[in-house]
Amino acid sequence: MGQGKKVILIVDDDMDYLFQMRMHIESFGFEVITAESQREAEKIIENTKPDLAIFDLMMESDDSGFILSYKMKRKYPDVPIILATAVSSETGMSFGVNTQNDKQWIKADLYLEKGIRKDQLHKEINKLLKI
């Protein structure tokens, strides 16, 4: 039996966005697990190791995505994490994983603006998964 499909965990409290992301990522040939909250995602992480995770930044709290990234990396240091955020359009803040200091605290491997083009998303996922 060959390798199974890679599993991608997507966490977002916006149901429409979650559905859209699931459709996109399944069309790339991945298996998808979704969660609608930080709490739900933490439960999934306890028993499941995805191949890659995409977290919304702001859910129950403004830093839900950061907290999830931190917990995920502590348990599965090798799982790449994408933080999807509309934050710069909503708040004018922009985050980047640029300085060493950011990298130590912010555990994400990549930031993506929500609304990223499908082909771009596919490329970034493949790059992180080294496909």
70 has pLDDT over 50? yes
Q: What is the CATH number of the domain that holds 30?
A: 3.40.50.2300
Q: Of 81-85, 98-102, 118-122, give the lowest mean pLDDT range.
A: 98-102
93 has pLDDT over 80? no
Flag whether 1 is in a domain.
Answer: no
Give the global pTM: 0.84
Flag whether 37 is in a domain.
Answer: yes
Quote the pLDDT of residue 88. 55
Write out pLDDT tens, residues 14-60.
Answer: 999 999 999 999 999 999 999 999 999 999 999 999 999 999 888 88
Flag whether 2 is in a domain.
Answer: no
Which amino acid is it at 111? Y
> Considering the chain, what percentage of its residues have pLDDT values greater than 90?
60
Flag whether 32 is in a domain.
Answer: yes
Specify the number of domains making up the chain: 1
Model confidence band, residue 105 (pLDDT cutoffs 50, 70, 90): low
95 has pLDDT over 90? no
Flag whether 95 is in a domain.
Answer: yes
Supply the range of the domain harboring residue 35.
Answer: 7-129
